[in-house]
Amino acid sequence: MERNEREKILAILKREVVITIGCTEPIAVALCATKAKEVLGKIPEKITVFLSANVLKNAMGVGIPGTGGMTGLPIAIALGTLIGKSEYQLEVLKDSSPEAVEAGKKMIDNKNINIELKKNISEKLYIEVVCESGKNSATAVIAGIHTNFVYLKKDNKVLLDKKSTIQNKEEVSVIEFNLRKVYDFAMTTAIRGIDFILESARINKAAAEVSFKVNYGHGLGKMLGAVENRIMGDNIFTAILSYTSAACDARMAGAMIPVMSNSGSGNQGIAATLPIVIYAEKNRNTEEELIRALVLGHLTSIYIKQYLGRLSALCGCVVAATGTSCGLVYLMGGKYEQVSYAVKNMIANLTGMICDGAKPSCSMKLTSGVSTAVFSAMMAVENKYVSSVEGIIDDDVDKCIRNLAQIGSEGMAETDKYVLNIMTHKN
State the Cα–Cα distance between residues 280 and 159, nearest whole angstrom: 49
What distance in Å separates the CA atoms of residue 190 and residue 420, rounded to the nearest whole number?
45
Q: Which of 217, 216, 271, 266 is nearest to 240 (CA)?
A: 271
Write out the DSSP string of 267-331. HHHHHHHHHHHHHHHHHT--HHHHHHHHHHHHHHHHHHHHHH-SS-SB-HHHHHHHHHHHHHHHH
Tell me the pTM.
0.92
What residue spans define the domains of the chain?
22-168, 175-424
DSSP 260: E
**Average pLDDT, rounded, for the chain:** 93
The secondary structure of 369-410, three-state, reads HHHHHHHHHHHHHCCCCCCCCCCCCCCCHHHHHHHHHHHHHH
Residues 70-122 have pLDDT tens digits of 998 999 999 999 999 999 999 999 999 999 999 999 999 999 999 999 998 88
Distance of CA 148 to the CA centre of its chain: 15
Give the class (CATH, top level) of 22-168. alpha beta
- Taking the C-alpha atoms of residue 8 and residue 69, their distance in angstroms, rounded to an integer, is 40
CATH architecture of 175-424: Orthogonal Bundle (1.10)
Q: Give me the amino acid identity at 376.
A: S
Find the radius of gyration of the CA atoms of the chain. 21
Tens place of pLDDT per residue across the chain (427 aa): 888 999 999 999 999 999 999 999 999 999 999 999 999 999 999 999 999 999 999 888 899 998 988 998 999 999 999 999 999 999 999 999 999 999 999 999 999 999 999 998 889 999 999 999 999 999 999 999 999 999 999 999 999 999 876 544 444 445 789 999 999 999 999 999 999 999 999 999 999 999 999 999 999 999 998 866 778 888 999 999 999 999 999 999 999 999 999 999 999 999 999 999 999 999 999 999 999 999 999 999 999 998 998 888 999 888 999 999 999 999 999 999 999 999 999 999 999 999 998 899 999 999 999 999 999 999 999 999 999 999 999 999 999 999 999 999 899 989 988 998 898 888 6
Contact 101, 79 (CB under 8 A): yes
HSE, side-chain direction, 13 A CA sphere, residue 269: 34
Residue 6: burial class (beta carbons within 10 Å; 0-12, 13-18, 19+): middle
Q: At 220, phi and psi to the nearest 5?
A: -65, -45
> Edge-to-edge strands of the sheet including 46-51?
113-117, 46-51, 126-133, 136-143, 149-154, 157-161
Whole-angstrom distance, CA of residue 225 vs CA of residue 234: 8
Q: What is the pLDDT of residues 230-250, one digit of tens each?
A: 788 889 999 999 999 999 999
Q: Give residue-wise pLDDT tens across range 3-15.
A: 899 999 999 999 9
Q: For the packed helices 287-308 and 316-331, what is the interaxial angle rounded to 10 degrees?
A: 150
